[in-house]
Structure 1
Amino acid sequence: MIGMKTTLKYTLVAVACVGLAGCETSYRNHGYVPPEEDLQQIVPGIDTRATVEDVIGVPNASGVLNNSGYYYIQSEVKHFAWQKPTVTDRQIVAITFDPAGVVENIESYGLDDGKVVPLSRRVTRTSDGDISFIRKLFGNIGGLNVGQLLGE
């Protein structure tokens, strides 16, 4: 009988150790974000889609609207026991292009408390030529003529 109790104790300890080992937290990285040194080699206003691919590689995703940009995304995901995996860190590098395919802007974003936060931004031109929807809307307020609306 003494041998059976000892075997049972060792079996329970072994099962407990295996159960605790399964509760270990692990982190996995998904995706790719180019290092800052490589991003510094890209010059907005000069480099094109082809040179971006040569310098830092093919992107994880690209813009679906007019193929407007390249997006490099890297996420760190925490896995713990039976719990749902959670994203603990996310880095996004967005490279936008003008209609001619020349680099227009390079922006980096991070994940801070579940909100996307811009980390850096490099823009080559001002937005003087770009008129937003709100600016267009308010720009037309003074241009209305009541006589024209009434057909006079």
Structure 2
Amino acid sequence: MHLPSRQLIVRTAVAGVAALTLAGCASIQNQRGYLVDEVLVASVQPGLDNRESVQGTLGRPTMQSQFGDPVWYYISSRTEQAPFTRPRIAGHTVLAIRYDERGNVLSVERSGMERVVRLDPDGRETPTLGRNRTFLQDLFGNIGQVGAAGMGGSGAPPR
């Protein structure tokens, strides 16, 4: 009688660990930015809407153009990440609403994953302009420079 209860406990523990392991393998989804509502987006019409009506319908934009024609951008991105891997972009939408000088909607344009570019950095170093110096040159390079002209010293030449 004592042996079957011990086997039951072991089997239950193994089943619990297996369930937790499988649950940990599920990918993590993350939504960032504007939550796209297709009905609201479809209601914005060029020639009928203006900045106030668009802000009342869609809310404040994610960002606005700083130069050139006035454009409001609503940006949405969804990523997925399996355990122990890098996140990958699963969905991306940019809604661009262009306005005329009076604030009326000129056009509503939408782009998606076709415009997403993955950039890989070149190695683990950031190239910089200037001299290539070693750690010791950086560490000891300023010895004798304290008090020199232009560095907080008197600026007068030595006598």
TM-score per shorter chain, which class? 0.5 to 0.7
Contact 1:33 1:93 in 2 (8 A): no
TM-score (norm 2): 0.56
Q: What is the aligned partner in structure 2 of residue 52 from structure 1?
A: 54
Say if 2:116 is the partner of 1:108: no
- How many matched pairs? 114
Q: Shift of residue 63 of structure 1?
A: 1.6
Which runs of 5 or more residues in structure 1 are unaligned?
116-152
RMSD: 3.0
Which residue matches 2:77?
A: 75
Q: CA deviation at 1:12?
A: 5.3
Greater shift, 50-59 or 21-30, is seen at: 21-30
Deviations 1:15-67 (A, max 9, x none): 444233211123333232242x3334333234221111112222222222257
The structure richer in strand per residue is: 1
Is the radius of gyration larger for structure 1 or structure 2?
A: 2
Matched to 1:32, the amino acid is: L
Which residue is equivalent to 2:138? Answer: none
In terms of mean alpha carbon deviation, does 21-30 or 88-97 score higher?
21-30
- 1:113 deviation in Å? 8.6
The match for 1:26 is: 28
**Contiguous gaps of at least 5 residues in structure 2:** 118-159
Q: Please, what TM-score do these two structures have when normalized by structure 1?
A: 0.58
Identical counterparts, % of pairs: 23
